[in-house]
Amino acid sequence: MIRLRPAAAAALLALAAAAPRVAAQKINPDSIVDRVDKLLRGRSSRGTVSMQIVTRQWSRTLDMDIWSLGNDYALVRVTAPAKEAGTATLKVKNDVWNYLPRVDRTIRIPPSLMAGAWMGSHFTNDDLVKESRLVVDYDIALSYDGERDGTKVWEFTLTPKPNAAVVWGHLVMQVRQADLMPVWERYYDDGGKLARTITFSDYRVMGGRKVPAVLTVTPADKPDEHTTLTYHRLEFDVGLTSNFFSLQNLKRR
């Protein structure tokens, strides 16, 4: 029988007690970021949102209905104001179209324009229909684990994978540890310069899950401008099928 001195025994007990806590801190960055990326969509969803656009020259508010099915299908339709009503964007797998009711014209959006502004807002076409998926297009690494302003958070750095069709040089995302809610996302250009920030707020339960009901995007070069997207109603797992996401429905009021 081997006898341990009291000091050695105490050290071993301390290590044994610490082991579970160390293991509990191990996280899967891909899993957390993917959860955040799909937070407002689910397997299928529908909802109503408003978008307030504020620029140096003008401001306006759009009301919209939105639908989604997984990562491959999405439909966004403007319902107000009247002069914009019926304007819509449709995503079906790798294809995206805009419908302009004023001229009764459907325009296919090429991949090179997915980073373009949607309806004059600071959100892009990709933001609205989620053409890209973060865990597919980016390598994700934990870059910070600790407190910010008294709240425990994780920060993840996302770097584009080789040959990924994305426009950002890299992204940084902050997520609260307690409930896995996103706090902000920062988007950088190829030169490493901050291009824009999306902040999340007004966390509430909608459709049976906790989500950030307000998203605000602010361009770094125009800090006095912003676009705020507010979710008023959101339902998940609503039984949509791929047939709903058609060019015929794109034009339907």
Is 234 in contact with 47 (CB distance < 8 Å)? yes
Q: Pairing relation of β-strands 73-80 and 170-176?
A: unpaired
CB atoms within 10 A of CB 91: 25
CATH 2.50.20.10 fits 39-245, yes or no: yes
pLDDT digits (tens, 9 = 90+) for 32-72: 999 999 898 888 999 999 999 999 999 999 999 999 998 88
Task: Decide if 248 contacts 241 (C-beta within 8 A).
Answer: no
Answer for the pair 75, 89: CB distance below 8 angstroms, yes or no: yes
Q: What's the whole-number average pLDDT of the chain?
A: 88
Query: Phi/psi at 69 (nearest 5 deg)?
Result: -140, 105
The domain locations on the chain are 39-245
pTM, entire model:
0.85
Sign of the alpha-carbon dihedral angle for 230, 238, 177, 143: negative
The overall longest dimension of the chain from CA atoms, in Å, is 90
- Predicted confidence at residue 25, as pLDDT, reads 56
Strand partners, 204: 211
Q: Measured between alpha carbons, how far apart are the two ends of the chain, in Å?
A: 83
Q: What is the reported pLDDT for 111?
A: 75
Residue 161 DSSP class: P
Select the highest-mean-pLDDT range: 9-18, 78-87, 93-102, 157-166.
78-87
3-state secondary structure of 252: coil
What pLDDT score was predicted for residue 120?
A: 87
